[in-house]
């Protein structure tokens, strides 16, 4: 507030002395004024510098590596033009793995459905509401690596899951991560368990931002909960719902930690990011791996763009 006021005074002074002469033309005052003008920039300078240093500079490097044949170590980098990109697009083994993303994409619908269901239920007056909210959000707070290990034990032959199933008389369960037909579903299920809490909290926040008088009006009009859901909640959170779909598409294209920890990408569960890591660090082809990373970025941007074109960001009007 104080800064704003004094700036106004300075500007006023300037207007009366167009040549730039001020009432106190000492050098110290002028310096102080320049500093004052600079202050906001100085404040953001640290943040911008960190952003450039840690985000844009590495990204620029990535772009640069993607047109070289770097092996991650050599001090000489040779420019190879678009060769790496040609290799990425012509090697069928590289794009094959996007097939695996479909499992996670399919699972993301289940994830969003479940999150929406719980968010709606728990936004009404339910018993132990806050406890259940905590329980549902909790998995998202756990370290992804820890989750990978926990589920690895869960899925082991004669592990927790098999034991629980046997109580219900389900003997002879399949190998949850050993059977290639089931492995991706097991991993996608783990992913749903981990990330549902995130969607849940987003939905819950959106639902609670709907003014309560609308519900009251609906109740006075005799609408039941189901009708309230369709007529009020769903349209009210449409934007968040759209956002969640964008995030889940981008997420299912770049799945990484759960399959990496649980199978290391073996048994047909490799994803594009795992393959990028293997290309860079196992096969020592950092150039090609950088090109793969850029291609993934381009694909995610394209998908998001298409999604935004198909479902534009309409203004929500509940009245």
Partner 1 sequence: MTKKALAGVATFAAAAIALSGCTGGAADDDPSNTIDGEVAGDLTIITWRTDLVENGQFDEYIAAFEEQYPDVSVEVEAITDYAGEMQTRLTTDNYGDVIGIPASVQPDQFEQFLEPIGEKADFAETHRFLNGASYDGTQYGLAIGGNANGVLYNKRVFEEAGVTALPTTPEAFLAALQQVKDGTDAIPMYTNYKDGWPLGQSFGNLGGVTANPDAASEMAEDPAPWSEGKDMYAIDGLLYDAVAAGLTEEDPLTTNWEQSKVDLATGKIGAMTLGSWAISQFQDAAEANGASADDIGYMAFPSNVDGAQYSVIAGDYNLGISRHSESKAAAWAWIQWFIEESGFAENEAMISTMASAPLPENLAGLEEAGVQLMEMNPAPAGEEGLLNEVSSDSQVDLFGNIYRQELVDVARGAADGDKESFFADLNERWGASVERLAG
Chain positions contacting partner 1, by CB under 8 A:
35-36, 38-39, 42-43, 45-46, 49, 53, 71-75, 93, 152, 155-157, 159, 175, 177-180, 183, 263-268, 278-279, 281-285
> Closest distance between partner 1 and the C-beta of residue 316, in Å?
41
- Nearest Cα to Cα of residue 246 among 191, 184, 185, 301: 301
For residue 96, the minimal CB distance to partner 1 (Å) is: 12
Of residues 164 and 316, the one with the C-beta less far from partner 1: 164
Look at residue 195 and give its three-state secondary structure.
helix
Which element (helix H / strand E) includes 186?
A: helix 180-208
Residue 19 CB: number of other CB atoms within 10 A?
6
Element (H, E) at 233: none
**Among candidates 276, 231, 271, which has minimal Cα distance to 251?**
271
Q: Is the Cβ of residue 14 or residue 83 nearer to partner 1 in the bound state?
A: 83
Question: Closest CB to partner 1 among 49 and 121?
Answer: 49
Q: Which two tokens stand for residue 43?
A: 């404040």
Q: How far is CA 181 from the centre of its chain?
A: 28
> Which among 121, 116, 251, 272 has a CA at the least distance from the CA of 188?
251
Residue 92 CB, nearest approach to partner 1 (Å):
12
C-beta closer to partner 1: residue 53 or 316: 53
Residue 152 CB, nearest approach to partner 1 (Å): 7
Q: Is residue 146 packed enough to be buried (19+ CB in 10 Å), middle (13-18) or exposed (0-12)?
A: exposed
**Choice between 237 and 286, CB closer to partner 1:** 286
Considering the complex, what minimum distance in angstroms separates the CB of residue 38 from partner 1?
Answer: 8
């Amino acid at each position: 507030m104080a800064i704003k006021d004094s700036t106004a005074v300075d500007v006023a002074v300037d207007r009366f002395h167009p040549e730039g002469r001020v009432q106190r033309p000492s050098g110290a005052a002028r310096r102080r004024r320049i500093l004052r003008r600079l202050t906001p920039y100085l404040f953001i300078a640290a943040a911008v510098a960190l952003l450039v240093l840690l985000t844009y500079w590495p990204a620029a490097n990535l772009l640069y590596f993607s047109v070289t044949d770097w092996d991650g170590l050599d001090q000489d980098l040779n420019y190879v033009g678009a060769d790496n990109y040609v290799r990425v697009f012509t090697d069928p083994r590289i794009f094959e793995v996007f097939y695996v993303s479909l499992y996670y994409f399919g699972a993301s619908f289940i994830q969003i459905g479940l999150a929406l269901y719980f968010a709606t239920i728990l936004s009404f007056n339910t018993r132990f509401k806050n406890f259940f909210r905590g329980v549902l959000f909790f998995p998202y707070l756990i370290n992804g690596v820890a989750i990978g290990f926990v589920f690895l034990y869960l899925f082991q032959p004669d592990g927790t899951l098999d034991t629980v199933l046997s109580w219900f008389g389900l003997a002879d369960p399949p190998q949850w991560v050993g059977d290639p037909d089931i492995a991706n579903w097991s991993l996608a299920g783990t992913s749903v368990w981990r990330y549902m809490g995130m969607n849940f909290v987003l939905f819950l926040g959106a639902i609670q931002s709907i003014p309560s008088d609308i519900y009251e009006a609906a109740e006075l009009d005799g609408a039941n909960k189901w009708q309230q859901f369709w007529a009020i909640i769903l349209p009210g959170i449409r934007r968040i719902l759209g956002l969640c779909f964008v995030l889940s598409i981008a997420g299912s294209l770049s799945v990484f930690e759960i399959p990496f920890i649980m199978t290391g990408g073996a048994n047909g569960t490799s994803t594009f990011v795992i393959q990028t890591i293997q290309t860079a660090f196992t096969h020592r082809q950092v150039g090609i791996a950088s090109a793969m990373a850029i291609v993934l970025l381009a694909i995610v941007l394209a998908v998001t763009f298409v999604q935004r074109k198909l479902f534009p960001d309409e203004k929500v009007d509940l009245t």
